[in-house]
């Protein structure tokens, strides 16, 4: 899978929510993207941290980053990616997922949410809307 670029999508309208999913597992990525698209969200995909950073560097309409923790071959794991995004794009809400790791003390930046995998797809969608609401992101 490749990340979407600005050449492939027009900017979103102000009321639309752009969600970037970062996961090296194509089946997980496809399942999450399908559920979030069905919920009316605009979904961008990246299979590693480098693609995610490249996409975020060119788009201003991503409101939420969902990242798996373990991404073999990626420069950054999901915790490191979340910290980088929090520092460079503080307006982006963060949801980190893992089926193997639970965050320790300082693994997650302030305001980030962690969800264990497997996560029901309706629960994933609910977490996104909850995260936006509790942090004043608007829906």
Q: Which of 50, 53, 40, 21 is nearest to 119 (CA)?
A: 21
Name the more confident of 101 and 55.
Answer: 55
Averaged pLDDT for residues 45-49:
95
Mean pLDDT confidence for 17-22: 91
d(CA 126, CA 92): 17
List beta partners, residue 67.
22, 96
User: Residue 56: pLDDT band by 50, 70, 90 thresholds?
Assistant: very high
Q: pLDDT band for position 5 (50/70/90)? A: very low
The C-alpha atoms of residue 73 and residue 92 are separated, in whole angstroms, by: 24
> How close are the terminal C-alpha atoms of the chain, in Å?
28
With H, G, I as helix, E, B as strand and everything else as coil, classify residue 122: helix
What pLDDT, on the 0 to 100 scale, is given for residue 136? 56
Does residue 14 surpass a pLDDT of 90?
no
pLDDT value of residue 135: 53
pLDDT computed for residue 45 by the predictor: 96
Residue 93 CA from chain centroid, whole number: 8
What's the pTM? Answer: 0.84
Range with lowest mean pLDDT among 88-97, 105-114, 130-139: 130-139
User: Both tokens of residue 120?
Assistant: 């029901």
Higher-scoring residue by pLDDT: 5, 63: 63
């Amino acid at each position: 899978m490749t990340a979407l670029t600005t050449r492939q999508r027009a900017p979103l309208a102000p009321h639309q929510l752009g969600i970037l999913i970062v996961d090296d597992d194509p089946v997980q990525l496809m399942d999450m993207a399908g559920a979030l698209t069905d919920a009316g969200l605009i979904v961008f995909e990246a299979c590693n941290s480098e693609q995610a950073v490249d996409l975020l560097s060119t788009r201003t309409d991503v409101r939420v980053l969902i990242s798996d923790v373990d991404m073999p071959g990626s420069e950054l794991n999901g915790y490191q990616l979340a910290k980088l995004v929090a520092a460079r794009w503080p307006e982006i809400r963060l949801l980190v997922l893992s089926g193997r790791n639970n965050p320790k003390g300082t693994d997650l930046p302030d305001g980030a949410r962690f969800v264990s995998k497997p996560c029901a797809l309706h629960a994933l969608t609910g977490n996104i809307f909850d995260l936006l609401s509790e942090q004043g992101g608007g829906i």
